[in-house]
């Protein structure tokens, strides 16, 4: 399962082995989108900060 941004919509692709790798898209409302994206970006920046503090 992975997510990415396209045309301001957050796509979730779910990969099922038994369905010959058919991709299922789930579209969320824009408002909900922004909340999730905000969280993801916060987590990413937090991880980057931690990596820099640890290794550099």
Say how many domains are in the chain: 1
Q: Give the phi and the psi of residue 29 in degrees, each rounded to 5.
A: -65, 150
So what's the pLDDT on residue 18? 44
* Per-residue pLDDT, 1: 45
In the numeric block, the tokens 């579209």 are attached to: 27
Question: What pLDDT, on the 0 to 100 scale, is given for residue 15?
Answer: 41
Domain coverage including residue 37: 2-55
Residue recorded with tokens 């824009």: 30
* C-alpha torsion sign, points 32, 36, 37, 39: positive
DSSP state of 18: G
Q: Could you report the per-residue pLDDT of 6-56, keeping only the tens digit for each?
A: 655 555 444 444 444 444 444 545 556 667 667 777 777 777 766 665 554
């Amino acid at each position: 399962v992975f997510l990415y941004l396209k045309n301001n919509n957050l796509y979730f692709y779910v990969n099922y082995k038994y369905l010959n790798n058919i991709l299922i898209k789930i579209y969320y409302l824009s408002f909900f989108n922004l909340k999730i994206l905000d969280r993801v970006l916060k987590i990413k920046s937090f991880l980057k900060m931690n990596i820099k503090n640890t290794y550099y």
